[in-house]
Every structure is written in C-alpha cells, then in structure tokens.
Amino acid sequence: MRIFDGDELLIATHNKGKAREISALLSDYVAHFSTAADHDLPEPEETGETFAENAILKAQAAAQATGKICLSDDSGLDVSALNGDPGIYSARWGGPEKDFNLAMKKVHEALGDNPDRSAAFICVLAIGWPDGHSEVFEGRVEGDIIWPMRGEKGFGYDPVFVPKGYDVTFAEMDPAEKHAISHRAMAFDLLVTQCFKK
Ligand code: ITT
C-alpha cells in the first residue's frame, strides 16, 4: 500500500455535492485541496464496467493531466429488484441536465409495485499518482428506496434512500449524521487508515 505523502490533493470530481462531502471527510488529513474545476480539467468519459475501473480512470486522467496526486470517487445506487441498476450509470440516469428528480422518478417507476425495495449506495475511491500507481477503497451502505422523495439536504438520490435502522432519508439527515454511516465515509475510513499518515 502506497502512503500519501504530498501536501496537496486534487479532488478529481465535477460533482459539487461529492466535492463538499470529500473535503469535509478529509479536512483533518490534508493541508491543501484543489478541485477539477480549479485546474479546468475536462470530464473524462467513464468507459469502465465497474465502479473501481471508473474510479481509477478518473484519478489517473487527472493525475496525468496535472502531475498531481489525485483522488476520485465513483459511486452509485444499486437497487436489488433492478438487478443493480442504476449502478455505474447512476449519474447518467439524470440525463444531460443531471436532473436527479428525473433519475429518482425513473427508479420509482422501474420498481413499480415490486415489494423488494432494498438497495445499497456504493462508493469506490481511487487515489492516483502521476507515475500510474493507484490504490482503491470501497464502502457500502444498505437501505431501502422510499417514495415520495423526502428531504432537502445531501445530493443525488439521497431523498429516496433510507439507510437500514433509520426512518429518515439521507436528505433529511444533517451532514454529520450522513457522514457517520455513509458509503463514502466507510470508503474514507479505509483510505485514511491505510494510506494517510496520522
Ligand atoms: P464525477 O464523476 O465528476 O465525480 P458524477 O456525478 O458523474 O461526478 P459518478 O459517475 O460517480 O459521479 O456518479 C455517481 C452518481 O451517484 C452521482 O451523480 C449521484 O447522483 C449518485 N450518488 C453518489 N453518491 C451519492 C450520495 O452520497 N448520495 C446521493 N447520490 C449519490
């Protein structure tokens, strides 16, 4: 396992909701952040067939373009009754406008009256070095899809996801509550324990 020993980390995401969560989760470990927007990076095409392939592809695209150590996040919602959809296509279900009200409605309509509402959020983080090396970490949280959507916080599919053991959606939780249990927080726990010096 390679240790992060830089003092700057480039967060290779174009998703503002993710960038907000990632900088909060890493604030104790990294002195300086920059983002894909700061470096005017193009959004790479996600041609991988797994979360891990896409995460590595995004981290390496940014690392090769800038010469910096880059962290990417590939994530999505895996709905059991939809055979894992929208999965790696979670962002694409929002269409060109990235309209997640539309994406959540598509999930709701695809489920119809199927009694199996179980789902999981998955987050795969990749940290990529400019020499081509990458490390990958995965987090997962189980829950259920509800309808109608509830809550205004968070981003993406948060208003339709109730984590197991709770009766509120991720979008009804304060950020700290979501960070205590989320797929992204679990992947970050692995990243910081294995890859960051205390
Ligand atoms: P980048 O590739 O630039 O990071 P993206 O939005 O295209 O941004 P993904 O390809 O990983 O990222 O798509 C993941 C989608 O899954 C994202 O757009 C959200 O809609 C959804 N998602 C991921 N994590 C989520 C979370 O914590 N809460 C709600 N929705 C989430």
Please give the full DSSP string across 159-193, using - where no structure is assigned: GGEEETT-SS-GGGS-HHHHHHH-HHHHHHHHHHH
Decide if 75 contacts 124 (C-beta within 8 A): yes
The pLDDT tens digits for 161-175 are 999 999 999 999 999
Strand segments, DSSP code E, in the chain are 8-11, 32-35, 70-79, 118-128, 134-145, 161-163
* Distance in Å, CA 91 to ligand 1 centroid: 6
Complete DSSP assignment for 132-147? S-EEEEEEEEEEEE-S
Is the beta carbon of 155 within 6 A of some atom in ligand 1? Answer: yes
The pLDDT tens digits for 30-61 are 889 899 999 999 999 999 999 999 999 999 99
* Distance in Å, CA 7 to ligand 1 centroid: 26
Whole-number pLDDT of residue 7: 82
Whole-number pLDDT of residue 188: 95
Decide if 24 contacts 188 (C-beta within 8 A): no
The verdict on whether 74 is a catalytic residue reads: yes
Q: Domains along the chain?
A: 8-195 (3.90.950.10)
Look at ligand 1, atom 28, and give the residue with the nearest C-alpha. Answer: 158
Catalytic residue selected from 74, 116, 167, 174:
74
Is the beta carbon of 154 within 6 A of some atom in ligand 1? Answer: yes
Residues 6+ apart with CB under 8 A from 51: 74, 75, 76, 88, 122, 123, 124, 138
Whole-number pLDDT of residue 167: 97
Nearest Cα to Cα of residue 51 among 184, 171, 144, 193: 184
* pLDDT < 70 regions, the chain: 198
Whole-number pLDDT of residue 172: 98
Give the separation between CA 97 and CA 77, rounded to whole angstroms. Answer: 19
Is the beta carbon of 41 within 6 A of some atom in ligand 1? Answer: no
Whole-number pLDDT of residue 198: 64
Is the beta carbon of 159 within 6 A of some atom in ligand 1? Answer: no
